Structure 1
């Protein structure tokens, strides 16, 4: 009977996969099985969204990185194209305005030429600076050359201020204060008066011209015979005035007629 029971216990122990300790106790609590994660369908939606957001932050997305790099390259190409187009446009404008200033001699066009030249100079300086900043030299400039850009902007600002001050001095101050004309223009007026009726005009006493805005006021003193009738003398003076006013740079011309030249020209006017 004891042998039969021992055989039954041996059969049961062979059929039971759970190992037993030498004392006969089960070892199922000493080697626990790994926990099984519940399916996503059983996770609440707020927790699922939180896990998804963490994955988006922690796991890099190579597609988005490539797209961002492509966008940056495309933006650089667009900037380079626009910068080159602006530079070419400024060059064309400078050439056209210089031609217009030479032909018209207008101070407004000259001022516009100065502005266009400054814009062109600024573009060239900033492009050169941007190229230097991109070329890094760790041995010569350990901290980079990014400071070149504000330095270039400062230089351009100083040049623009100095040029603007010079333009204001030339166009708004000198021409409005009645400064005398250049010697070349005075020679031109003298040559015109000398060749006007040399058979009647006995002497050229004074030729003056001074700025009045962008053009000139001209004053001429000529000598005529004392015995000449007033009507004829007036007609000669009127003709000479019209000849001088035909010049493009002349706003008004005043012709004074006299028959003696012993007095000084300035003695006839008040000194201010």
Structure 2
């Protein structure tokens, strides 16, 4: 399962359905950022894979109609605030003209094909940004801010200094204060500051149900792989006892560590899904790369010991042939068959964690096949050194692959910069977001575990009010966080192109 880590190649082409779909759904709810309905809406987009892409005008008609219904007004306003602030930001590019069909890619040489595969990947990312910004999400966010501000501005009061001799409350005032205090007793940490009852009913639980289904699928895949690993571990222990093959020993170590890897994935998945907003305000998603890093060290150390055993066999005086009996061969072939069934099932589940299990199962299939081939060929060809050579080869294969994985996760955990492709996509989104953004002063994208943090400094007109600046900045933040590989986004607003560094450099 975990004998070979999953390799990431950002330059390879990826199909657009891997990004969030923006197809209009009949059960869309009106967005309320302060009423906590926006996360549910974004989850709806992320879980609507496979839906056909509709026309953007239809999308805006659906969302616009719902916004008017939620506001309770049947009079259409001639100028929506969102459209005024964002302005006309139509994309000047038609990215579909730059996309190369896969049929044409097959006829190209490998270097040229890799170049166009990377271009297809960028085209799909830019097209996704266009669909995101051409939808009504950002404009409806601004309308939502305006609607709640108008509704609640009379309820918000500034804090004034306490009078030295404050008059005593009347009985009616005391009863009102008691009633207000009683109304706060049901509040929890998840209660929104400003609640929108209309939106609360429409969006409650929709994204949670889909997220629960996805977690159930992941946990089912983990349990299936855990059961398979237990069976394979017991079978390989029997084969190792029956023979003294180093290649089979390497396969046994791999099976034992597969059991450990499944346990690590299971434990980190359960821990990260249990949110504690007081102890871990931004979640514990970085536990996953930490777990992989720890497992990488264990994997490298274990197979280093297997490599030492192989070298001792090669330089030792014992040149006896390793013979695999028929029961041992049957057991090893059965392990390949079980891993093959796990791979067939896991590859049908459209989830990144389950896809990782599927790729690891395929790697184990290849690993176990070579564990059988090396001693068998050595026996039939009367070549004693093939078995320890095979064990040495498999050990180096695992060591180099997991060393590469450890290096990658160390870079991600220490805040390595995002790729140029990712930064270009973020820059394109910020440049296209609103016409009132005069300059993009700075953009930083860096890893915080497996996902990215994005910080952007934008310059608005100095006459822009705090009201408008806040709504533009927070709407841009939500748009950036709507990109699939972004964990958190931070938008800094300036009124001039000159600004001091955003953060203090403590290394000087």
TM range (shorter): 0.5 to 0.7
Distance 1:253 1:259, change over 3 A: same
Partner in structure 2 of residue 167 of structure 1: 405
Q: In 2, distance between residues paired with 1:151 and 1:121?
A: 17
Gaps of 5+ in 2: 1-323
Task: Specify the structure having the higher radius of gyration (Cα).
Answer: 1
The question of whether the paired residues in 2 share the 8 Å contact of 1:118 and 1:160 is answered with: no
Partner in structure 1 of residue 503 of structure 2: 269
Pairing 1:219–2:464 present:
no
Q: In 1, distance between residues paired with 2:347 and 2:398?
A: 18
Q: In 2, distance between residues paired with 1:259 and 1:211?
A: 28
- 1:109 is displaced (CA, Å) by 6.0
- 1:254 is displaced (CA, Å) by 0.6
Q: In 1, distance between residues paired with 2:327 and 2:468?
A: 75
Distance 1:105 1:232, change over 3 A: same
**Alpha-carbon displacement from aligned partner over 1:94-139 (angstroms, at most 9, x marks no partner):** 5666676xx6555x964x5675454333322222213312324xxx
Q: In 1, distance between residues paired with 2:351 and 2:485?
A: 10
The question of whether the paired residues in 2 share the 8 Å contact of 1:189 and 1:244 is answered with: yes
1:58-207 to 2 correspondences below 5 Å: 76-94=325-343, 104-105=351-352, 110=356, 112=357, 115-136=360-381, 144-171=382-409, 173-198=410-435, 200-207=436-443
Gaps of 5+ in 1: 1-74, 137-143
Distance 1:230 1:223, change over 3 A: same
Partner in structure 2 of residue 233 of structure 1: 469
Distance 1:99 1:205, change over 3 A: farther
TM-score scaled by length of structure 1: 0.59
- 1:178 is displaced (CA, Å) by 0.1
Partner in structure 2 of residue 33 of structure 1: none
Q: In 1, distance between residues paired with 2:331 and 2:380?
A: 21
Distance 1:157 1:99, change over 3 A: farther
Distance 1:85 1:126, change over 3 A: same
Q: In 1, distance between residues paired with 2:362 and 2:408?
A: 17
Q: In 2, distance between residues paired with 1:178 and 1:184?
A: 17
The question of whether the paired residues in 1 share the 8 Å contact of 2:444 and 2:456 is answered with: yes
Partner in structure 2 of residue 208 of structure 1: 444
Q: In 2, distance between residues paired with 1:232 and 1:117?
A: 53
The question of whether the paired residues in 1 share the 8 Å contact of 2:329 and 2:372 is answered with: no
Give the structure, 1 or 2, with the largest relative contact order (CA under 8 Å, sep 6 or more): 2
The question of whether the paired residues in 1 share the 8 Å contact of 2:445 and 2:452 is answered with: yes
Pairing 1:243–2:479 present:
yes
- 1:191 is displaced (CA, Å) by 1.6
Distance 1:166 1:154, change over 3 A: same
Q: In 2, distance between residues paired with 1:225 and 1:126?
A: 67
Distance 1:104 1:215, change over 3 A: farther
**TM-align CA RMSD:** 2.7
TM-score scaled by length of structure 2: 0.33
- Partner SS, residue 128 of structure 1: helix
**Alpha-carbon displacement from aligned partner over 1:230-253 (angstroms, at most 9, x marks no partner):** 111111111111111122211111
Partner in structure 1 of residue 151 of structure 2: none
Distance 1:97 1:206, change over 3 A: farther
| Higher relative strand content | 1
The question of whether the paired residues in 1 share the 8 Å contact of 2:442 and 2:456 is answered with: yes
**Alpha-carbon displacement from aligned partner over 1:211-232 (angstroms, at most 9, x marks no partner):** 0011111101111111111111
